[in-house]
Amino acid sequence: MIATGIVVEYNPFHNGHLFHLQEAKRQTDADTIIAVMSGNFLQRGEPAIVDKWTRTRMALAGGADLVIELPYAFATAHAPQFAKGAIQLLDALYCSYFCFGSEEGSIAPFTNSLTLISTQQQLYESAIKEAMREGISYPNALRKGYEAISHDTSIDLADLSEPNNILGFHYMQAANDIHSSMIPLTIERIGTHYHDPALPADSVASATSIRKSIFTNESAEDVQPFMPPTSYRLLKNWEDLNGFQSWDALYPLLRYSILREEPERLTEIADIREGIEFSFFRAAKEQTTFQGFMQAVKSKRYTWTSIQRMLVHILTGYRKATREQITDPSYIRLLGMTESGRCYLRSIKKQLPLPLVSRVASLSDPSLLMDIKSTDIYMSGIQSPAPTLGQDYRTPPIFV
Amino acid sequence: MIATGIVVEYNPFHNGHLFHLQEAKRQTDADTIIAVMSGNFLQRGEPAIVDKWTRTRMALAGGADLVIELPYAFATAHAPQFAKGAIQLLDALYCSYFCFGSEEGSIAPFTNSLTLISTQQQLYESAIKEAMREGISYPNALRKGYEAISHDTSIDLADLSEPNNILGFHYMQAANDIHSSMIPLTIERIGTHYHDPALPADSVASATSIRKSIFTNESAEDVQPFMPPTSYRLLKNWEDLNGFQSWDALYPLLRYSILREEPERLTEIADIREGIEFSFFRAAKEQTTFQGFMQAVKSKRYTWTSIQRMLVHILTGYRKATREQITDPSYIRLLGMTESGRCYLRSIKKQLPLPLVSRVASLSDPSLLMDIKSTDIYMSGIQSPAPTLGQDYRTPPIFV
């Protein structure tokens, strides 16, 4: 049986995701699509608008056969760590291929870039260090390093100023690092540009523009044309029950936790460094909205995303001491499966290098405890009705 | 000039308080009444229903000339520590008298009890230790110790099973400990018994029964007959602007902070000991209301009040390490004054043994920082409108 892996957030699952999933299946002739999906907090340092079980249902309805949770420790990390967690899980699940969406659309430029960096490692790294010393953000420093080694070459390289190309590059690098036998494959992203916030007239829109439409119009109705029917129905159900989750909704909890911790204790939180805790503390005292808070703390040294990631870690109480305990994925957390996914799992079950977790109570692991905790905190921010916590303990894998 | 000190919470200020204040003034022929008043969190481990500035205005309107904040570290502590903080502040302000309400109503039984305990110290303390070993709560152990030394004496002793007698006894003991020259005076509490929750027909009701009426009827209107008109108007204004503060309203923040800290970090919080952190963590996961939470965690070993005090400390992030830095009051925080209070202050200003704080920014002190922090967290729990924090920095002493 052939399994193809994809790495997803599905925030929410839309027609572009459906296209990618179907193409990945078609191009690899896969029997099984395995989606490694982030839990309730995402790579850009944001809560997902609907919870991980709703998004699991969307994924299964859209054609995924197995949905595996990318643990919090990787899902909310910068690109190299995010990619490492996702690729290691897909490799552990014996995928023959992994397939990612990119602006580039073909795999050769990525391979060329990887080769170039590995042969010019020293120049690359010293250019990055140099740029960091000048006080620019990490992603920009990476770009500088890349420019330093690529400016006078004529080979076809991946354009690493594009967000999906960057992730794709890190998937390839992570696969390389573990000598994975998985074959990489990329599909060009269709529809609007990733960051384009305007809804286009046809049937594909980015998740970013879909979320923007939802929050601007305070309703999900306008985004119906851009989502598969089941996905849209699940989105509406969640909205009716809980309202969409967002930083705006979670800000009172974030603000409270910053005030309660005070600057001194904030430094124990993952990613907090170089005095930014004082800026957070001041802003929490003064700002009554999340947008106001972000405007008050933004700086040249950090990207918006990296600040949001710090804030997610403050919100969930994710500490440096906990992060140091988590280097590689240590379990395979099953969120959902189809009959075909179940067959595939049965066929590889005995050779799995990591424990397969269907019930979280069966394993005590710092990374898994962090997944459970972050779910509870995600739900704590839901206003109506009184949130039910401990869902990770009560929710069995979804089977459709 | 003669100053008489009183120790108050005014939650809210009612006719019984007015009576006590007038009697204290009359019986001591005082020029100045100095009220040491708890801030936003109180001795029974609860938030005040209205904030400290509103209660300061009530106190000034009711006849107090100076309102001094009892710092958080003392205001939320058990009786001996609470009394120590209050008495030291009144002593530092050169009060000639301190006057407390009690069930007993005359001072001799308190003096007798003090003498008895100091002469039978060993028997008293060993009886307390013995009782604690049996796993009963600290107040009950104190009672056992007291019974052990008082059961075969015929002298007139204070009945230390009554809540106001207990506080009065500790005021006397605290004054004794610092060899204060203040003369103690007690006034019998009138009206309903302290814990009696039913509203009586005449004009005096306990603060407990007033709060109960407010929360049961979700309105302040029924309590108007029991409060001076200005006090009632201030209460209504606060209600209209902010709603009354309560554990029910603060529970989402408490619950979130328990989930975020996890049992391991909860043990760093003041008063948390002997594994109760696990019981708190379990209850926070399961209980959606404060009442449900308290039912789930109550135990024979701790009184309801001592559990609530632990919860206040969790809510405000008051840690053992901070508490250890605070042994005695280290400043005199002025919340409000009348013209007469200002004259008195001027007359003693040069001899004050502690810094007088009118603007909190003028002093950096762990206890004062805790007062500021607890105000911000008290306000964070106010739902409408978006709370303004940092009020301790912005609010000058109230002058009427």
User: Which of B259, B374, B391 is the best mutation test for A, with the most CBs of A within 10 A?
Assistant: B259
Low-confidence ranges of chain B (pLDDT < 50): 192, 194
- Regarding whether B290 and B344 lie in a shared domain, the answer is no
Q: How far apart are CA B397 and CA B362, in angstroms?
A: 14
In this prediction, residue B162 carries a pLDDT of: 87
Q: Is A292 on the interface with B (CB under 8 A)?
A: no
In this prediction, residue B386 carries a pLDDT of: 64
The torsion angles phi and psi of A308, rounded to 5 degrees, stand at: -60, -35
Q: How far apart are CA A37 and CA A335, in angstroms?
A: 9
DSSP symbol at A12: T
User: Which of A40, A72, A256 is the best mutation test for B, with the most CBs of B within 10 A?
Assistant: A256
**Chain A with chain B: Cβ pairs closer than 8 A:** 65
Count the neighbouring beta carbons within 10 Å of the beta carbon of residue A391. Answer: 17
Contact between chains at B259 and A285 (C-beta distance less than 8 A): no
Q: Is A219 on the interface with B (CB under 8 A)?
A: no
Average pLDDT value for residue range A367-383: 92
Contact between chains at A260 and B373 (C-beta distance less than 8 A): yes
Question: What amino acid occupies position A96?
Answer: S
Tokens read off for A173: 């690098």
DSSP symbol at A338: -
Count how many domains chain B has.
Answer: 2
Q: What distance in Å separates residue A264's CA from the closest CA in chain B? A: 12
Contact between chains at B380 and A256 (C-beta distance less than 8 A): yes
Q: How far apart are CA B39 and CA B350, in angstroms?
A: 26
- Residues whose CB is less than 8 angstroms from the CB of residue A77 and which lie 6 or more positions away in sequence, other chains included: A43, A85, A309
Q: Is B19 annotated as a binding residue?
A: yes
Nearest-CB residue to B317 (from A260, A284, A286): A260
Q: Is B85 annotated as a binding residue?
A: no
**A361 is a domain residue:** no
Q: Is A195 annotated as a binding residue?
A: no
A 359-398: CB under 8 A from B: 373, 376-377, 380, 386-390
Beta bridge partners of B185: B99
Using a pLDDT cut of 90, give the percent of chain A over it. Answer: 74
A201-205, A230-234, B34-38, B79-83: least confidently modelled range: A201-205
The torsion angles phi and psi of B156, rounded to 5 degrees, stand at: -80, 105
Q: How confident is the model at residue A381 (pLDDT cuts 50, 70, 90)?
A: confident
- Regarding whether B393 and B315 lie in a shared domain, the answer is no
**A289 is a domain residue:** yes
In this prediction, residue B134 carries a pLDDT of: 86
Q: How far apart are CA B383 and CA B40, in angstroms?
A: 16
Q: How far apart are CA B161 and CA B177, in angstroms?
A: 22
In this prediction, residue B191 carries a pLDDT of: 59
| Radius of gyration of the CA atoms of chain B, in A | 21
The residue out of B260, B292, B324 marking a domain boundary is: B324
Cβ proximity of B178 and B329 under 8 Å: no
Q: How far apart are CA A81 and CA B20, in angstroms?
A: 66
Q: Is A9 annotated as a binding residue?
A: yes
Residue of B nearest to A255 (CA): B380
A212 closest CA partner among A230, A192, A229, A231: A192
Residue of B nearest to A377 (CA): B256
Q: Is A18 annotated as a binding residue?
A: yes
In this prediction, residue B23 carries a pLDDT of: 95
**B159 is a domain residue:** no
The residue out of B269, B304, B324 marking a domain boundary is: B324
Residue B11 is part of a domain; what is its CATH number? Answer: 3.40.50
Tokens read off for B377: 């967290």
**B200 is a domain residue:** no
Question: Alpha-carbon torsion B203, B209, B213, B215, what sign?
Answer: positive
Count the neighbouring beta carbons within 10 Å of the beta carbon of residue B216. Answer: 11
Q: Is A19 annotated as a binding residue?
A: yes
- Regarding whether B335 and B375 lie in a shared domain, the answer is yes
Cβ proximity of A175 and A91 under 8 Å: yes
Q: Is A275 on the interface with B (CB under 8 A)?
A: no
The residue out of B287, B307, B324 marking a domain boundary is: B324
In this prediction, residue A90 carries a pLDDT of: 98
pLDDT tens for each residue of A259-294: 999 999 999 999 998 799 999 999 999 999 999 999
The torsion angles phi and psi of A330, rounded to 5 degrees, stand at: -120, 5
Q: Is A261 on the interface with B (CB under 8 A)?
A: yes
Contact between chains at B288 and A376 (C-beta distance less than 8 A): no
Tokens read off for A275: 């005095």
Contact between chains at A256 and B261 (C-beta distance less than 8 A): no
Using a pLDDT cut of 90, give the percent of chain B over it. Answer: 74
Q: Is B262 on the interface with A (CB under 8 A)?
A: yes
Cβ proximity of B210 and B222 under 8 Å: no
Q: Decide if pLDDT at A393 tops 90.
A: no
**A290 is a domain residue:** yes
Q: Is A40 annotated as a binding residue?
A: no
- Regarding whether B43 and B93 lie in a shared domain, the answer is yes
Range of the domain at A304: 247-320
**B90 is a domain residue:** yes
- Regarding whether B391 and B275 lie in a shared domain, the answer is no
Cβ proximity of A104 and A152 under 8 Å: no
- Regarding whether B342 and B310 lie in a shared domain, the answer is no
Tokens 């925030």 map to which residue?
A: A11
In this prediction, residue B201 carries a pLDDT of: 55
Q: How far apart are CA A267 and CA A279, in angstroms?
A: 12
In this prediction, residue B81 carries a pLDDT of: 96
pLDDT tens for each residue of A281-335: 999 999 999 999 999 999 888 889 999 999 999 999 999 999 999 999 999 999 9
Name the 3-class secondary structure at A8: strand
Tokens 């950096």 map to which residue?
A: B364
Q: Decide if pLDDT at A197 tops 60.
A: no
Q: What distance in Å separates residue B266's CA from the closest CA in chain A? A: 13
- Regarding whether B383 and B296 lie in a shared domain, the answer is no
- Regarding whether B30 and B95 lie in a shared domain, the answer is yes
pLDDT tens for each residue of B111-159: 999 999 989 889 999 999 998 888 888 778 888 888 888 877 788 999 8
Q: What distance in Å separates residue B315's CA from the closest CA in chain A? A: 8
Q: Decide if pLDDT at A194 tops 70.
A: no
Q: What distance in Å separates residue A198's CA from the closest CA in chain B? A: 31
- Regarding whether B364 and B268 lie in a shared domain, the answer is no
- Regarding whether B335 and B308 lie in a shared domain, the answer is no
Type and span of the H or E element at A184: strand A183-188
CA–CA–CA angle A70, A400, A398 (5° rounding): 40
In this prediction, residue B200 carries a pLDDT of: 57
Q: How far apart are CA A269 and CA A311, in angstroms?
A: 9
- Regarding whether B361 and B237 lie in a shared domain, the answer is yes
Type and span of the H or E element at A157: none
In this prediction, residue B389 carries a pLDDT of: 80
Cβ proximity of B343 and B115 under 8 Å: no
**B258 is a domain residue:** yes
In this prediction, residue B385 carries a pLDDT of: 61
In this prediction, residue A160 carries a pLDDT of: 87
Q: What distance in Å separates residue B255's CA from the closest CA in chain A? A: 8
Contact between chains at B259 and A388 (C-beta distance less than 8 A): no
**A147 is a domain residue:** no
Tokens read off for A58: 């969307």
Q: Decide if pLDDT at A193 tops 70.
A: no
In this prediction, residue A379 carries a pLDDT of: 92
**Residues of chain A contacting residue B259, judged by C-beta atoms under 8 Å apart:** 373, 376-377, 380, 389
Count the neighbouring beta carbons within 10 Å of the beta carbon of residue B299. Answer: 12
Separation in Å, CA B400 to CA B2, B69, B250, B335: 20, 17, 32, 12
pLDDT tens for each residue of A94-139: 999 999 999 999 999 999 999 999 899 899 999 999 988 888 887 7
Q: Three-state secondary structure along chain B?
A: CCEEEEEECCCCCCHHHHHHHHHHHHHHCCCEEEEEEECCECCCCCECCCCHHHHHHHHHHCCCCEEEEECHHHHCCCHHHHHHHHHHHHHHCCCCEEEEEECCCCCHHHHHHHHHHHHCHHHHHHHHHHHHHCCCCHHHHHHHHHHHHHCCCCCCCCCCCCHHHHHHHHHHHHHHHCCCCCEEEEEECCCCCCCCCCCCCCCCCCHHHHHHHHHHHCCCHHHHHHCCHHHHHHHHHHHHHHCCCCHHHHHHHHHHHHHHHHHHHHCCECCCCCCHHHHHHHHHHHCCCHHHHHHHHCCCCCCHHHHHHHHHHHHHCCEHHHHHHCCCCCCEEEEEECHHHHHHHHHHHHHCCCCEECCHHHCCCHHHHHHHHHHHHHHHCCCCCCCCCCHHHHCCCEEC
